[in-house]
Amino acid sequence: MTDLLSGPAETAIYQPGKPFTAPELSVLQTEGVLRIVLPGAYVCMAQPKSAEVRTAAVASHIGPRLREVAVIGRLTAAWVHGFIPQPPELELLVARFHRLPLHRPDICISLHECLLTDEEVLRIGQMQVTTPVRTALDVAFHAPPAPARRVLSRMLGSRRTGCSRGELLDAIEATGRRPGKRAALELVQGLPQLRALD
């Protein structure tokens, strides 16, 4: 069984039936051979905890057509960038309506229509993800206030984000007339000033 796990160095995601059964995956996890990245998506323990592994796990949960057009966004993008634990659902951004993949019992997938510029997305591994600045903007507008404060505090307090409080406030201001703009500005302005943590 473990011979199948000593393949190429690229990220291999294992799901029930591909090629192991759910009980076999559970045993491999218990034995320390695999770890869970997302519900129903396992990776070899030797794989580093990285954004590439997280995007591969997201890609494993959606069909190939959606994988080509969707961008990982909102709290899911904050997770891919390494600022929060696994979110309760996968949030994907699409330019126009697309059908959701078949229902998955292990994790909820939600699609949100929005327009993104080339400067607001980057490719990480198998999928596109919103940049840290666009991720922070979307979290400020769309996440519930308590999680938004936690995520934005971590993002704005990190050197590796490439997103400062000033940049985020400028991005919010640049959205023009938009529902929720005042609340997003107040949320970011009310965050404590943090020194960069990393």
SS (H, E, C) 36-56: EEECCEEEECCCCCCHHHHHH
Alpha-carbon dihedral sign for residues 160, 163, 164, 165: negative
> Does the residue 69 lie in any domain?
no
**Domain residues for 7?**
2-48
Predicted confidence pLDDT, tens digits, the chain (198 residues): 444 444 444 579 999 988 899 999 999 999 999 999 999 999 999 999 999 999 999 999 887 888 889 999 999 999 999 999 998 899 999 988 766 665 567 788 889 999 899 999 999 998 999 999 999 999 999 999 999 999 999 999 887 777 889 999 999 999 988 999 999 999 999 998 655 444
- Count up the domains in the chain and report the number: 2
> Does the residue 77 lie in any domain?
no
> Does the residue 102 lie in any domain?
no
Q: What is the pTM of this model?
A: 0.88
> Does the residue 62 lie in any domain?
no
Supply the DSSP symbol for 159: G
Burial of 46 from C-beta contacts in 10 A (0-12 / 13-18 / 19+)? exposed
